[in-house]
Structure 1
C-alpha cells in the first residue's frame, strides 16, 4: 500500500510576473479542504508582483536572477537547491518564463506543473494566443502539463477549451484564456495534492504508484 500524500501538500510556486495565478492558489489554500499550501515563492528576477504578493501573505520568498550566475547550468542547479530547501510535494510554474534544466528536472521532474495558453500540442512557445488567431482556429484554450525537458511538451494533466470569438484580438483572447487557465490550475493542483499522482508513460494517473518502496 503506497503512503498517502501529505496533507496539506507543500507547494513551491515559481513566478516571473504579477502573480495572478499564484494569488489564486494562495486564495484557494485558505480553505482547509483544498489540500495544499504555498510554502515558498521563487522568482527569476527582482521586483516581481508575485514575490510582493507572497510577502504580503507572509510566505517565504527567494530570487535567483539568471545574470547572477556564470551560466544557465549554474543557475539551474541553484534553483534546484533553493526549491529543495522547502521540501515541496509539487512545484508550480505560474507564469515562470524560464525553462528549467537537467539539474532541476533530476530533482523535481514528474512533480512540476506548468500551464500553456493553447491546446497542446498546437501552438507551443511564447505566443500561443497570437498563433491561434493567425491560424484561424475557432477553438483554442489552455493546457496544464507535467514539465519535461521540451517546450510545452510534457504529459498533459488537463485541458480547457476557449472559443475564439469574431473580433478577438490577441489581448482579448489571451485574457479569456488566462481566466480559464487559472480556474483549471487551481482545481487540478488541489486534486493532485489531495489524491497524489504519478506518470504512466504520457498518462498522468491519480494516486501513488502501486509498487512498494
Structure 2
C-alpha cells in the first residue's frame, strides 16, 4: 500500500501559541493530512517555542529586532522554511507584518486565523471593536494571507453570539474555544486538497461546499 505524503507545515508564532497547540494536537492523528515539522517565532522568549520543543518539533527563534529591515527578516525566515521543506505556513498569533514579496512568494500556501468575522474588524482589538459596534454575532476567520492586512480570501468561519454583559475578555475567551476547533478543520481541508486558492477565489471540493457556497462552522 502506497504511503501518502503529508503536507509539511510550519507554524509561526509570537507568543504562547494556543492555536499552535491545537494544530499540533490535531496533527498527531494518523489520518490528519498535515504534519507540523517546524515552529518559528519572531520573539525568542515566546512560550510557544518551549511547548513545541517539548513535543519533539524543531523550533527556530528569529528575533526581528536583530535584522536591519523587514525584508532582511523575511529573507532569513524564508531560508528556514526552505531548509525544512515547508509546503504550507500557518500563522498562529504571529504579530508581524510581512513584506509584499514574501507574501506573494507564499500565495495560496499561507493561512492565518483572525479573531473576527472578516471583513469586519480587521487589525487588533477586534473584540473591543465588535462591542463598540453593537454586533450580535462575532467570531473568527481562517483565511489565505495576502499583502493587504486581514483581507485574504476566506476559508472558514465560526460564529458566537454576543451576550448581554459581555466584555472583551469574556468574548475573547468564548471565541478562542472556536478558534481552537476551527483552525485544525481548516488546515485539514487545505492540506488535504479539499480547499485551494484560484486567483483571488477560494474553491472547495464538492463534498465540503454547503448549498450557499460558503463554509461556515457554527
With structure 2 as the length reference, what TM-score do the two structures score?
Answer: 0.88
Query: Does the CA-based 8 Å contact 2:112-2:144 persist in structure 1?
Result: yes
Q: Distance in 1 between matches of 2:85 and 2:101?
A: 16
Alignment gaps of 5+ in structure 1: 1-5, 208-213
Q: Distance in 1 between matches of 2:60 and 2:90?
A: 15
CA distance in structure 1 between the aligned counterparts of 2:70 and 2:199, rounded to whole angstroms? 28
Q: Would you say the 8 A contact 2:70–2:98 is kept in 1?
A: no
Return 7-16 or 104-113, whichever deviates more: 104-113
8 A contact 2:112–2:142 mirrored in 1 = yes
Q: Which runs of 5+ in 2 are unaligned?
A: 206-218
Of the two structures, which has the highest relative contact order with CA contacts closer than 8 Å and spacing of 6 or more?
Answer: 1
2:129 counterpart residue number: 131
User: 1:60 aligns to what?
Assistant: 58
Q: Could you tell me how far apart the structure 2 residues matched to 1:161 and 1:106 are?
A: 29
- After superposing the two structures, state which structure 1 stretch, 21-30 or 100-109, moved more: 100-109
Contact 2:11/2:38 (8 A) holds in 1? yes
- Native 8 Å contact 1:15 1:50 kept in 2: yes
Q: Relative to structure 1, is the Cα distance of residues 83 and 196 closer, same or farther in structure 2, using a 3 angstrom cutoff?
A: farther
Q: Does 1:172 align with 2:167?
A: no
- Give the structure 1 partner of residue 198 of structure 2: 200
Structure-1-length-normalised TM-score: 0.90
Distance 2:57 2:143 in 1: 25
How far the C-alpha of 1:196 sits from its partner, in A, is: 5.3
The count of residues paired between Structure 1 and Structure 2 equals 202
Map of 1:30 onto structure 2: 28
* d(CA) in 1 for partners of 2:174, 2:200: 28
Match of 1:3 in 2: none
- Give SS of 2:192's match: helix
1:79-130 Cα deviation digits (max 9, x unpaired): 1222222122210001101112234223312110001111111110011111
Partner of 1:110: 108
Contact 2:104 2:147 in 1 (8 A): no
Residues 5-48 of structure 1, C-alpha deviation per residue, up to 9 Å, x if partnerless?
x6311110000111111111111111111111100000001121
Runs of 4+ in 1 over 6 A off after TM superposition: none
Structure 1 pair 18–51 and aligned structure 2 pair: CA distance change class (3 A): same
Equivalent residue in structure 1 for 2:157, among 152, 155, 159: 159
